[in-house]
Amino acid sequence: MLTDARLLELYDSQLGSRHLDLAARELRAQGAGFYTIGSAGHEGNAAVAAALRPTDPALLHYRSGAFYLERARQAPGTDPLRDVLLGLVAAASEPIAGGRHKVFGHPKLNVIPQTSTIASHLPRAVGVAFAVERAAKLGVACAWPHDSVVVCSFGDASANHSTATGALNTAAYCAHQGLPLPVLFVCEDNGIGISVRTPGGWIASYGSRLGMRHFTADGCDVASAYEAAAEAVEWVRRTRRPAFLHLRTVRLMGHAGSDAEVAYRSRAEIAADEERDPLTATARLLVARGVVTEDEVAALAEAKREEVRAIAREVASAARLETARAVMAPLAPSRPAAVAGEAVAAAHAARARPAEPVTLAQAINQTLADLLDHCPEMLVFGEDVARKGGVYGVTRGLLRRAGAGRVFDTLLDEQSILGLALGAGLSGLLPVPEIQYLAYLHNAVDQIRGEAATLSFFSSGQYRNPMVVRVAGYAYQKGFGGHFHNDNAVASLRDIPGLVVATPSRPDDAAAMLRTCVAAARADGRVCVFLEPIALYHTRDLHDEGDGEWLAPISAEHVPIGRARVYGSGDELTIVTFGNGLHMSLRVARRLGLRCRVLDLRWLAPLPVDDLLREATATGRVLVVDETRRSGGVSEGVLAALADAGFDGRVARVTSRDSFVPLGDAAAHVLLTEDEIEAAALDLVRGRP
Over 653-681, what HEC string results? EEEECCCCCCCHHHHHHCCCCHHHHHHHH
**Does the pLDDT at position 689 exceed 70?**
no
Instruction: State the Cα–Cα distance between residues 127 and 133, nearest whole angstrom.
Output: 10
Cα(514)–Cα(386) distance, rounded to whole angstroms?
A: 19
pLDDT digits (tens, 9 = 90+) for 182-208: 999 999 999 999 899 999 999 998 877
pLDDT at 351 over 90: no
My answer on whether omega of the bond before 376 falls inside 30° of 0, hence cis, is no
| Mean pLDDT of the residues in the chain | 94
Of the candidates 66, 24, 19, which has an alpha carbon nearest to the alpha carbon of residue 315?
24
Give the CA distances from residue 363 to residues 323, 431, 578, in Å, rounded to whole numbers and listed in that order.
Answer: 43, 19, 18
Separation of first and last alpha carbons in the chain = 83
| Residue 676 CB neighbours (<10 A) | 16
Largest CA distance in the chain: 96
Q: In whole angstroms, what is the distance from residue 220 CA to residue 535 CA? A: 59
161 is catalytic: no
Given pLDDT bands bounded at 50, 70 and 90, which one contains residue 355? confident
Exposed / middle / buried, residue 346 (Cβ in 10 Å: 0-12, 13-18, 19+): buried
CA distance 395 to 364: 8
Contact (CB, 8 A) for 447 and 423: no
- Is residue 350 predicted with pLDDT exceeding 90? no
Q: 650-656 and 621-629: which strand pairing?
A: parallel
| Main-chain phi, psi angles of 477, to 5 degrees | -70, 135
Each residue's pLDDT tens digit, 616-647? 999 999 999 999 999 999 999 999 999 999 99
Those residues whose C-beta lies under 8 Å from the C-beta of residue 274, and which sit 6 or more positions away, are: 250, 252
Give the model's pLDDT for residue 225.
97
pLDDT tens-digit map of 71-86: 999 998 999 999 999 9
Q: Is the pLDDT of residue 406 over 60?
A: yes
| Contact between residue 433 and residue 418 where contact means Cβ atoms under 8 Å apart | yes
> What is the spatial distance between Cα 675 and Cα 588, in angstroms, rounded to a whole number?
8
- Measured over the CA atoms of residue 266, residue 267, residue 268 and residue 272, the dihedral's sign is positive
Question: 417 near 381, Cβ under 8 Å?
Answer: yes
Q: How far apart are CA 288 and CA 286, in angstroms?
A: 5
- In the structure, what pLDDT confidence band is assigned to residue 13 with cuts at 50, 70 and 90? very high
**DSSP secondary-structure letter at 106?**
B
pTM of the model: 0.95
**With contact defined as beta carbons under 8 Å apart, do 527 and 467 qualify?**
yes
The tally of CA atoms less than 13 A away on the side-chain side of residue 7 is 24
pLDDT at residue number 556: 87
3-state SS of 613-626 is: HHHHHHHCEEEEEE
Exactly one of 42, 106, 485, 583 is catalytic; which is it? 485
pLDDT over 90 at 333, yes or no: no
* Closest residue by Cα to residue 613 from 605, 603, 601, 602: 601
Whole-number pLDDT of residue 688: 63
> How does pLDDT run across 382-396, given as a tens digit for each residue?
999 999 999 999 999
Nearest to 150 by CA among 163, 173, 167, 138: 167
According to the model, what pLDDT value does residue 332 have? 82
Tens-digit pLDDT profile for residues 274-301: 999 999 999 999 999 999 999 999 999 9
